[in-house]
Amino acid sequence: MGNLGLVSVKKSFAYVITLSIVCILISGHMSSALAADKHKFPDAHEHQISGNTYTDKTFNFQVTLPNTNWIIKPTKEGIGDALQIAMLERKGYDGFATNINVSKYYQESLEKFAGIGTYNPKKAKYTYVAGKPAFVASKMMTSGNFELQSIVYKFVNSGLGYIFSIAYLSQWSDDEKLQMEIDELLNSFTLLSGEDKKGESQISVGEKIGKEKLDHVAVLVMVDLRSDKHSEKTTVLTNELQNMLTKTGKFECLDRRNIDKTLGEQAFQQSGMISGDSAVKLGKLFGAKYLISSNLGQIGETSVIYIQVTEVESGKIIKTASSRCTRCNDDMLFNTISNLVSKLIF
C-alpha cells in the first residue's frame, strides 16, 4: 500500500501529475492495517463514459474531466497492491499520467488507512472531498533530476475509502490554469448510491433533494474554521447561499433574522458542523424540518467550503457537498457557492 499513487517520472517528462483514487471496502473484523485476505473483485467491472464524465458503478463514484483536453481510458491491470481501473491523460502536457486505482486489501478505518504509506498522518491537515471530511498531506519528492510536489487526500464514505494522490513538477505549482483544473477535477468527484454490507441502500446523492421541495429550512451562518467563528465574509457568503437556494425553488427557507435572534437568546455558540443531537434541539427552537450548516476552511492557498443538510426529525445527514478554490478572490468564492448549490439539487 505504501507505493499506491507514487509517480514514476521519465527524464523526457515535461510535466507530470498523478491522481489515484483508491477505493477500499472497510471491514469491521481486522486487527491490523491490512487484512489477511484480499478483496474479491467482481469479474465484471461496470463503468460508463458519457462525454467528459466517467461513472464507476462497481465502486460507486463519478468524476468529470475539466474540459475536452482531458482523456479517460478504462483499464483493468494489477499494479502491486492495487488494480488500475482507468487512466487519464491531459493533452498539451508531454508525459502526463493520471491513474484511478482500487486497493486489493480491506481497511478497517480511515485512521488506520491514513497511517499506511510514506505520508505522516500527524502532519496532515483536514479538508473536505466529495462532501466528506478528508485529510490532506504533502511532501516534496525527487526522481532523477526532477523535483516533485506530492499531495495526498484521503476520506471514507459508507464503507468505502478513497485516496487522491497528486504529484507534479514543483515548477508548475504556479500554473494557475492547471491548479484550477485540479480543483475542478476534485470538485467533480461525486459519490453514488450503493449497497452496504447488509445489502441496504445508502443515501443516494440527490435522493431527497432535487426530487421534492424541502420546506421549513433553517440556514445557519457559515463558520470560518480559521477562527472557529462567524466572520463578515462568511455572513455574506451565507446570505448568497440562502438566496441561491431559494431561487432554485427546491428550498423554502426560514427568515434568518429570526434564526439569529433565537441563537442569540439561547446563547448558542455554533462551531463547525451541527451534530444530530444539536440538529434536533435547534430544529425545535426554529420550527425547522431541515438545517443547513456550512464552514469555510483554508489550507495554504486553497479555500474549501463544505455544506451539510440535516433532517431535524431523525438527526440524520441527508446530503453533503464541498467545493475548493485555489488562489481565489471573493468573486471566485461566490462562484463556489453557485457550484455547491448545483451539487445539492442534482
**In the listed set 157, 191, 225, which residue is the last one of a domain according to the structure?**
191
Q: What is the CATH number of the domain that holds 295?
A: 3.40.50.10610
136 and 126 Cβ atoms separated by less than 8 Å: yes
- The pLDDT score that the predictor gives to residue 4 is 40
Q: 266-287 burial by CB neighbour count: b if 16+ within 10 A, else e?
A: eeeebeebbeeebbbebbeebe
Cell of 312: 431535524
58 and 47 Cβ atoms separated by less than 8 Å: yes
Distance CA 22, CA 39 (A): 13
On whether both 245 and 133 belong to a single domain, the answer is: no
| Closest C-alpha among 237, 226, 216 to residue 294 | 237
pTM over 0.85: no
On whether both 119 and 51 belong to a single domain, the answer is: yes
The residue range of the domain holding 133 is: 24-191
| Closest C-alpha among 303, 4, 17 to residue 181 | 17
- The pLDDT score that the predictor gives to residue 174 is 82
CA max distance for the chain? 65
Cell of 260: 439569529
Report if residue 175 sits inside a domain: yes
**pLDDT digits (tens), the chain, 346 positions:** 443 433 444 434 444 455 555 554 433 333 333 444 566 777 888 889 888 899 988 888 888 899 998 888 888 888 777 777 788 787 876 656 677 776 777 766 777 777 766 676 666 777 777 767 778 888 888 877 888 888 878 887 766 678 787 878 887 778 888 888 888 888 888 877 654 333 332 333 334 455 678 899 999 999 888 887 888 889 999 999 999 899 888 899 999 888 878 777 666 655 555 666 777 788 888 899 999 989 898 877 888 888 888 888 888 888 888 887 877 788 888 878 887 887 777 5
- The pLDDT score that the predictor gives to residue 203 is 33
- The pLDDT score that the predictor gives to residue 218 is 92
Report if residue 326 sits inside a domain: yes
Q: How far apart are the first and last CA of the chain?
A: 35
Any alpha helices (H) in the chain, and if so which ranges?
Answer: 110-114, 176-188, 232-247, 256-265, 276-286, 330-345
On whether both 143 and 263 belong to a single domain, the answer is: no
DSSP conformation letters of 103-169: ESB-BS-HHHHHTSSSS-GGG-EEEEETTEEEEEEEEEEEETTEEEEEEEEEEEETTEEEEEEEEEE
Report if residue 19 sits inside a domain: no
State the total domains in the chain.
Answer: 2
Phi, psi of 259 (to 5 degrees): -65, -45
On whether both 184 and 223 belong to a single domain, the answer is: no
Q: What is the CATH number of the domain that holds 96?
A: 3.40.1000
On whether both 46 and 173 belong to a single domain, the answer is: yes
Report if residue 171 sits inside a domain: yes
